[in-house]
Structure formats: structure tokens, C-alpha cells
Chain A
Amino acid sequence: MRIFIAVAALVFAAMSITAYAGKTLDAIKKRGRVRCGVSNGLPGFSSPDSKGKWKGLDVDVCRAFAAAVFGDSKKIDVVGLSAQQRFTALQSGEVDVLTRNTTHTLSRDTALGLNFAPVNYYDGQGFLVRKALGVKNARGLNGASICVIQGTTNERNLSDYFRKHKMKYKPVVMENNNELFKAFMAGRCDVFSTDASGLAAQRSKTKKPSELVILPDIISKEPLAPAVRHGDDEWLDIVKWTVYAMIAAEEMGITSRNVKRMKKSSDPDVQRLLGVIKGNGKAIGLTETWAYNIIKQVGNYGESFERNVGKNTPLKLARGLNGLWTTGKNGLMYAPPLK
């Protein structure tokens, strides 16, 4: 029965999608809220706090959309989705956008009918093992049992990596991240493998994080980016430039605290970003204060990063690839000119 409902929903969705094309923003305005699909509970990226309020780097992006569209970052509906559910949820119009550690790949961009916004976290797949196992690197994993989440790039990367190195492994695949992690912690698998950021998040949830180690090897590129349905350029533009605006703000040294003062900056770039010099808002189809509202209510990219996953959080992630390109280290965060 469940299966029949699923087919009906999919076919029905497939038919109604055309009605949505080009109309996502209208639907959002009518509803009064932006609806984002996020992962079900990944501390630092998207997880509900003790009061049931969603928090995290990915949730911040969602709040930024609401700030841009409505001038109010609270106007969001957050839908927790498993890796397996996320694409049908987006395709069928259940959510307006995925801000859900989703890797940008060619097949998702094409065959799945998605469009990707700029990357909001550069990641790579890693391995989490118990310290007691005594494994030092990925080459020592021949013959291991590996827990991996269904419907992820991780499933395929594993098989590619082991094939390339002529090694063997036994996958244990589940849709539910929590059940799977429980099985790993119980000892069903030697290894839990997903994006390194996800490993850090999972580890932070355990009672004794120090008993688990993340191996040094990173076996894939996982550029995690917000995704929307193919065919609605207007909405894609808003999603794209929202992410860029947060990066640009950090580049220009604008933070949630100084943004009001920065309005008086003499720098034309800053003035354009904050809507003092008008034009950007009209071009993108929003108010001129769209970016100001994002920065004021959500903060720039660096603030969001430090608040959710940075050095002073349980995840303790370094900026690394996610630093600004201007720092002279290996940072990749770079926003095209907002003019």
C-alpha cells in the first residue's frame, strides 16, 4: 500500500511540477515562508536544539533566504529529510530548496533535474573507526565491514575507492542515519564512512568522542551546495546570490554587529551590497535591503561557520578549504562581484 501511495504521489508530482516552473518565488510569497529540506539531525549543520528550534550552517542558509525574501529570517519551515528522500521531496515540490549537505555532481545536476547554488561547505569523504581497532589509514581497511548511508555519494565513492586499490569490504546500508550509527557504535561495522564534516558531527554526539578517530584519508570531493529544481531561474538566482552575499560580506569585513555602521562606508562595493546604492535588489527581484537583512539577521559566512561548526563548537572544524580565498591559505570561498 505504501508503495502505491508513493507511485501516486510521484506521478501526481511529476504532473504538477510544470505548474511550479518559474513560480517558486510566487508560491513562497503566497505561503509566507520558505520551505527548506535539511538533514534529519546533524549537529552543526542542521539539528533541532532543546527547544525544537533548528540550528546549524545549513539552517542558516535557509534563514538567509527568508531574510532576503521577507526581511525576516524566522519565516522558514524546516523539513528533515533522509538522504534517500531528499531528491523526490525537492522534485515533487514538497520543499523549495535543499540546504542539506548535498554534494554537487554531474548526474544530480543533469539526470536528476536539479540546479545547484554555490558551495557552502567544501568537504570530502572520510572514515571513522574505533581507536581500539588500531587502524592508522584507509589502506588498512581491506576486508572491513563499513556502515554507509543509503542514497549518498558515499555509497558509490566507497566502491570506487576499494576497486581502485583492489581491496574488499562489506557494506551495511541503511536509510536512517541514526539507526546506522547505532549499529556502528554497537560494533556491527568496523568503519562508519560519510563526509568528514558528517563524521565530526556524528562523533560529537557520542558519549566519549575521544574513543573514535577520523582516519587522515579523504577519498572524494564533496562540494556541498544548496539545490533547487531545474527550470526556475528566478529562484535559482536568489538562492545563488544569497550564498554569495554571505561570502562577500565576510570578504568586505561586514558582520551582523557592524552592518548598521557599514552603511556609512565610503566603499561603493559595500554600499551596493547593503543597498545604499540602489540597483541590486531590483535586478534580483527583491527589496534593496535584501543583503542587509541577511547580514543583520544571519551574519556573514565566517560568523555562521564559527557559530555552528568552528573551533569553539563540539565539531571543532578548521576553516581549511572553507576559508576565504583572500587569506593566502588554501581557502576556496570566493564571491563574484555583487554589482
Chain B
Amino acid sequence: MHYDASGKGIGISSLWRDVTKRKYTIQVLVLVGVVVLFSVLINIASDSLQKQNIASGFGFLAREAAFEIGETLTSYSAESTFGEALLAGLLNTMLVALLGNFLAVIWGAVVGITSLSHNLLLARLARIYVDTLRNIPLLLQLFFWYALITEFLPAIRDALNPVPNVYLSQRGMFFPMPEWGATHGWALVALLVGGIAAIFLYRWQKLRQQHTGQLFPFYRVAAALLLVPPLLAWLIGGAPVELDVPVLQGFNFEGGLALTPEFLALSLGLVLYTGSFNAEIVRAGIESVKKGQKEAAVSLGLSRSQALRLVVLPQAVRVIIPPMTSQMLNLTKNSSLAVAIGYPDLVNVANTSMNQTGQAIECIVIIVFVYLSFSLMTSAFMNWYNHMTRLVER
């Protein structure tokens, strides 16, 4: 064995003897082991699939699917391919995940803050809600909401009509949608411009406050920035009010925007269930900030709401975000329970595809790949966030 001046081993054996090098050696060995194991497994599997005469490979993705999907965000039809079918399922999963998480976070914050409220009745109610919903299996909750919508809302011909052109029935909710035109496009552009202006305004007023101490009524001005430009664009465009309204034609409502019972039950179930976990996270986050912080802020002359907004919440958020992120991931994964109530998410469409093609392993690989990417993306975000918010010592 040779050692160099610093005492580090040289030569091949140092890969094992040298502590720092050994770390990497082990990792590389494990990686190689895993890759070899997997390729052996895959080889054996595909070999015996062949002997069994079971089709394999991803060629089926380009073949015609020849089955319909209840609701899609794309222009999918039975003539599309299996690949397009799975994409439509993926987009449905993402729609539920994005919308569900957005609402579950807001709902969780509302309930979490309420459970700390000085109003004892409200606080109690919030706690009961959290304790109940967290302890009932999500699948049962989904069946409950689905049954509630399909069994207790009126039949389509007797649909409730609470507001003109809005219908509520066991087939779902139907809303009018503005007939899309160029003016709407311009209004959208105006909204975007207003938003960007608001971001700059935020930076500017923050800097000014730091330098001069002057406060700026940011929220009110920002609201105006977001509302007025689109409204102006719409007015200049001649204030078009044509609506695409749902009308009962034959068996179902046509036109407008339709939210199916499957979508409604799934979203409602996921939001209320995950919201109860989020509420606990928010409550724990706020409670984790020492009382002295708030008292100090108040004694410095901040109002109660200022103390909450400027002193307590920024510290709570640091505690809240990591578990909240994993709840977001949970909601996304739980959305695969959609199969049970017939919402065509990725898993649902993949299930149909695997039975039409017989390629179960391939379809499951796709599902695993998608959910694994969601997980990896989430943990990448978490790492980045932890890095950003770590306490900087000055």
C-alpha cells in the first residue's frame, strides 16, 4: 500500500481504503447492482411473456384505441391512439390535482386558522371537522359524495335551476360559458399586463418602504390593476355578452360548461379530505411560532393583523410548506381512486388500455413512471425550497 504526502491511499485499493473515495465506490457498486438486477428481471420476464405468447413492447401506443372516454380536455375520440388516450387521462389527473390542491390549501388555511379562533364555537367545529374527516377512509368519502350527487339530486329533466342558465342534476352541474371571441383574447392579454404591472408595483413599494418607511395601499391598487384593464378591453371590444348556454337536448344538456358527477365527487372528496390534513399543518405551523414573537410585535406598535401577517405567518410558513408539499403529493396520488367512481383519470384509462391490449406490465410501467415523476418533482421542489428558506446567519 502506498500513501501520498496527505495520507490518502493511491492505486486501485484506495477506492476501498480511502474513506471519501469509498463512499462513492459503494454508491457506484449499488447502482451497478440495481441496474444489473433490473435488466436480468426484465429479460427473464420478457422471455417468459414471449413463451406465453403475451404481446410486449410499447408499440401499442400508436395503435387505434377504439374506446370512448367520458370527458377529456383534448379532442380525443375513439379513432385516436392509445397514446392519446393515456395523455387524455394524464391531463384529467393533472386537472384534478391542480384544482384540488389549490382549493385544499385555501380550505386548509381557512379551517386551520379558524381552529385557533377566539370564537370557541367556530374553533370547536373546525376541530370536529378535522378529526372526523381525517379518520374516514377516502374511498368511502368518495362513494358518499358520488351517491349524494347521483341519488339525491333531481333527474336531468327536473334539474334544479337556481340561477338562470345554471342547472344542477344527478348528471352534474351545467354553466353558461362566454362565447369565445377576439375580445376575450384581448381581455386576457390585458389581465396579463395588469398582473405584471402588479409585480413591479410590489417590488417598488417594498423598496420605498425600506428606504423611507412610507406605507403604500398595495392590495387595493393591485386589485384595480388586475380588474380594470380587462374590463376596459372588454368594453372597447363592444362588451360582447353572447353566452354558450346549456340546453336540454334529447338525453342530456348540450353546450356550456359541464361538471360531471364523477369530477365533482372526486374533487369534493379530495379537497375536503386533504383539507383536513392541511388544516392541522397550518394550525401546528402557527402554534410553532413562539407567543413572544407576537407579543413583541404588538408591543412595537403593530396591529394584531399586521403582527399575524408580518411576523407570525412568515415564520409559520417555513414550518408549514414541507408537510404541505407532501400533502399535495398525497392528493395527487389519491386522485387515482378516481377509478372507483368512474372518473377517467390516468389509472382508469390505463386500466381500460391494458385489458384491450393485454399489455398490463407496460401500462403499469407508464403509471409508475408518471407518479414517480410527480414525486421526484415534488422532492426537487422541496430541496430547493429548504435551500431558499434556510436561516441565513448574518
Contacts and interface: CB of A to CB of B under 8 A. Distances in A.
> What is the size category of the interface that chain A forms with chain B?
35 or more
14 contacts: A3-B364, A6-B364, A11-B361, A15-B48, A18-B48, A107-B357, A111-B54, A159-B67, A169-B68, A173-B352, A179-B143, A180-B342, A188-B170, A230-B54
Interface in B53-98: 53-55, 66-70, 78-79
B252 A143 contact: yes
B116 interface: no
Given A144-B251, A171-B69, A190-B251, A88 B52 contact: no
Contacts of A110: 53, 55
Interface in B338-384: 339-342, 344, 348, 351-352, 355-361, 364-365, 367-368, 371
Interface stretch (A24-32, A150-158, A259-267, A313-321): A150-158
Contacts, number: 161
A170 interface: yes
A23 interface: no
Q: Which of A11, A91, A230 has the most CB of B within 10 A?
A: A11
Contacts of A14: 44-46, 48-49, 52, 54, 361
Given A111-B54, A151-B352, A174-B340, A143 B70 contact: no
B394 interface: no
A142 B364 contact: no
Given A111-B357, A230-B53, A3 B250 contact: no
Contacts of B150: 183, 186-188
Given A83-B355, A150-B352, A174-B341, A159 B66 contact: yes
Given A150-B351, A187-B170, A111 B365 contact: no
A87 interface: yes
Nearest to A163: B78
> What is the size category of the interface that chain B forms with chain A?
35 or more
Given A14-B361, A142-B250, A173-B344, A155 B52 contact: no
A318 to B, nearest CB: 31
A10 interface: yes
A176 interface: yes
Nearest to B146: A183
A18 B43 CA distance: 13
Contacts of B344: 173
Given A150-B348, A156-B356, A3 B53 contact: no
A33 interface: no
B54 A11 contact: no
Contacts of A187: 150, 155-156, 170-171
B261 interface: yes
A87 B171 CA distance: 33
B355 A84 contact: yes
A229 interface: yes
A113 B357 CA distance: 11
A287 to B, nearest CB: 30
A5 B339 CA distance: 18
B280 interface: no
Contacts of B358: 87, 107-108, 111-113
A42 B79 CA distance: 32
A211 interface: no
A7 interface: yes
Contacts of A229: 52
Given A11-B361, A169-B68, A176 B340 contact: yes
Contacts of B6: none
A48 interface: no
B45 A11 contact: yes
Nearest to A18: B48
A186 B170 contact: yes
A233 interface: no
B151 interface: yes
B352 A15 contact: no
Q: Which of A14, A113, A162, A183 has the most CB of B within 10 A?
A: A14
Given A175-B340, A231-B52, 12 more contacts: A10-B364, A11-B42, A14-B45, A18-B52, A84-B355, A113-B358, A151-B351, A158-B68, A173-B352, A187-B150, A230-B52, A230-B54
B249 A143 contact: yes
B258 to A, nearest CB: 10
Contacts of A111: 54-55, 357-359
Interface in A93-124: 107-108, 110-113
Q: Which of A84, A108, A172 has the most CB of B within 10 A?
A: A172
A110 B49 CA distance: 12
A171 B70 CA distance: 5
A237 interface: no
Contacts of B67: 155-156, 158-159, 171
Given A3-B364, A15-B44, A113 B54 contact: yes
Contact of B371 (A3, A84, A155, A186): A3
Given A11-B45, A18-B48, A172 B262 contact: yes
Given A18-B51, A183-B150, A183-B342, A7 B68 contact: no
B361 to A, nearest CB: 5
Interface in A200-251: 229-231
